[in-house]
Amino acid sequence: MPASANSAHDPGIPAFLIEQAEHALQQEFGPLERAVFDAAPDGILVVDRQGIIVGANPALLRLTGYTEASLLERPLDILLPESARGSHGRRLQQFFAHPHERPMGRIDDLTLRRADGCLVPVDIALGLGTWRDGPCVVAFVRDVTETRRLTERLRHLAAHDVLTGLANRGHLMLQLREAAAAAVRHGHTAALLLLDLDDFKGINDTHGHPVGDRVLQQVAQRLRETVRTDDVVARLGGDEFAVLLPRVDSPPDALRVADKLLLALGRPMHIDGLQLAVGGSIGVACCPQDARDADALMRDADLALYAAKADGRQQPARYAPALSHAMDERARLTDRLQHALRYGGLALHYQPQVDVRNGAVVGVEALLRWTDPELGAIPPARFIPVAEATGLILPLGDWVLHEACRQLRAWVDQGLHLRVAVNLSPQQFRQPGLAAQVRDVLQGHGVAPALLELEITESQAMTDPTQARRTLTALADEGVTIALDDFGTGHSSLAVLKQLPVQRLKIDRTFLQHIPEDTTDGVLVRGVLALARTLRRDVVAEGVENPAQLDFLRRCRCPAYQGWLFAPALPPEALAARLSGEAAGGAAAGAMGCHSA
């Protein structure tokens, strides 16, 4: 009787076929057994104790490309790859001695050599039988090319991002653990760079997710092209990427790589007829200088990334111990800001905008203030970056718009008609349906659109001029006025500026700081005023703090200004009282009184 093959065959090949084949071999093929042998879908190969092929069914001949005449009585070597020929004799004898132990190695290591020399991955199940009064091995051979291909595909998908083809977070962490261990063991430097795109959500919201996906693919390509083949580039999710440098000479070298990556990202992207500007920020952590294991490196690089964003974006930052405190503060500010949005603590103060000629207040700018019961008064420069980084900037912007319109309605009811300017964040400005949202807020509070002015920065308008023009036109159609803030600090195109429905330009305070001493700044201010007159745009100069600056603006015929010279941003009650006092005493007298304060 043949030895049982149950422990030697693979579950993919039915045991009854092996048993029938073994039986057929012992009976030297009766009619039924011969039919099973010939019709079996898997290849059947019979080898005697000397390693000579003594039987092969049609399926095996099709698989190998041999004819029966060219295969029978040939040594098994002709079906084996070069790497396996030296050991198959020993393994064959092992199987004759111990048929319950599989000698052929792992399933995914088995390969068969065809007549044309091509190698085919196979799964082989073995049994022991009798052939012409001697023992033989019967092997069931299955082509697993497609199975292997699918396995490799699944293995690749398990370790890589589908959209970009980059390594995914899980694969990166495996590589990071190996790199960190090697750096600690051998004393060299490894570096982890975390990259986050600046305002990628705005691209998705404005142009749609298909364009956003193309941007991510181009980012992935540029990252791969910039680093070495041994470096690992990964997409962690959304618009977050990572680059692992397993070996660099020093931490400054890692920062230089970060600079190169940002430079590569900074080149304009051309997608579906659009020219998009995509920037990013990078956090860098080094092993063993900053951390000695993968999890700590990831944490420290994330802290450095947050610092890079807070410092103005589009730059790298390396981890420093002080950043841990910054992250704790960010978490606390986020928690307290959420509390303020739900339960109060936010307020708007209003800074007057003043006619240069007669000192009359012609409008106000709404400026956000926050006083927390635990943290006290928190300046905008401290909490606005946190709001932008955490997504709270959108509910914060909604609150500001509603509160400004509520206050406008209250002033109108008091007989005070003031234009109120409200700043829009980049995220707000790129929100779909912004014009409809503004219309709903105005109608909800019963405010005339002409009393509301919306401010965007020059850089916001120039990031995507086509979309900016579309959004601003929709807002202007609602009847609100538009102001371009921080004018002169960006790179406006005159042709683009002419097409934007902007009623007012705001000269940035940096141009007035050293006037009248700095003649260059004076020339720039005169240039902006001349440009505004040519384009028939109104102008407000920001940051006027002394009489000399005001006198300069008068000589240049600047229409209006705002700044501490007249008044800081005031609570609504204080502003109303101030304006009522000036109305009683005369605008000019009120202005003179302020100057002497």
The answer on pLDDT for 30 being more than 60 is yes
- Token pair in block for residue 424: 């829009």
Q: What is the mean pLDDT of residues 174-197?
A: 96
* Whole-number pLDDT of residue 85: 76
Tell me, yes or no, whether 266 and 304 share the same domain: yes
* Helix, strand, coil fractions of the chain, as percent rounded to 5: 50, 25, 30
Q: Is the dihedral of CA 435, 438, 443, 448 positive or negative?
A: negative
| Reduced 3-state DSSP string for 46-93 | EEECCCEEEEECHHHHHHHCCCHHHHCCCEHHHHCCHHHHCCHHHHHH
* Whole-number pLDDT of residue 392: 95
* Whole-number pLDDT of residue 4: 36
Last-in-domain residue among 106, 124, 149? 149
Q: In sequence order, what are the beta bridge partners of 385? A: none
| 3-state class (DSSP) for residue 371 | strand
Q: 325 in a domain, yes or no?
A: no
CATH number at residue 439: 3.20.20.450
Tell me, yes or no, whether 210 and 310 share the same domain: yes
- Token pair in block for residue 286: 């080094």
pLDDT in tens, 79-130: 998 877 766 767 777 777 776 665 544 445 688 999 999 999 998 888 887 7
Tell me, yes or no, whether 358 and 260 share the same domain: no
* Whole-number pLDDT of residue 124: 87
| 3-state class (DSSP) for residue 142 | strand
Cα gap 514→531, rounded to integer Å = 21
- For 323, residues 6+ apart whose C-beta sits below 8 A from its C-beta are 300, 303, 304, 306, 307
Q: In sequence order, what are the beta bridge partners of 507? A: 487, 541
Q: 296 in a domain, yes or no?
A: yes
CATH number at residue 61: 3.30.450.20
User: What rounded mean pLDDT belongs to the chain?
Assistant: 86
97-101, 179-183, 326-330, 502-506: range with lowest mean pLDDT: 97-101
The answer on pLDDT for 16 being more than 60 is no
| 3-state class (DSSP) for residue 333 | helix
Cα gap 380→360, rounded to integer Å = 28
pLDDT in tens, 431-452: 889 999 999 999 999 999 999 9
* Whole-number pLDDT of residue 597: 29
Cα gap 557→546, rounded to integer Å = 17
Last-in-domain residue among 126, 149, 172? 149
The boundaries of the domain holding residue 426 are 330-595
pLDDT in tens, 533-567: 998 999 999 999 999 999 999 999 999 999 999 99
Please give the model's pTM, rounded to 2 decimal places: 0.60
Q: 559 in a domain, yes or no?
A: yes
CATH number at residue 258: 3.30.70.270
Tell me, yes or no, whether 375 and 497 share the same domain: yes
Alpha-helical (H) ranges within 160-293 are: 169-186, 200-207, 209-226, 251-266
* Whole-number pLDDT of residue 487: 81
Instruction: Provide the number of structural domains found in the chain.
Output: 3
Q: 547 in a domain, yes or no?
A: yes
Q: State the pLDDT confidence band at 148, using cuts at 50, 70 and 90.
A: confident
The answer on pLDDT for 48 being more than 80 is yes
Q: 85 in a domain, yes or no?
A: yes
Last-in-domain residue among 149, 177, 201? 149
The answer on pLDDT for 495 being more than 80 is no
* Whole-number pLDDT of residue 152: 83
Residues in the chain: 597
Of residues 202 and 275, more confidence is placed in 275
Helix (H) or strand (E) holding 581: helix 572-585
For residue 536, give the DSSP letter. Answer: T
Cα gap 7→2, rounded to integer Å = 13
Helix (H) or strand (E) holding 461: helix 458-463
Tell me, yes or no, whether 271 and 354 share the same domain: no
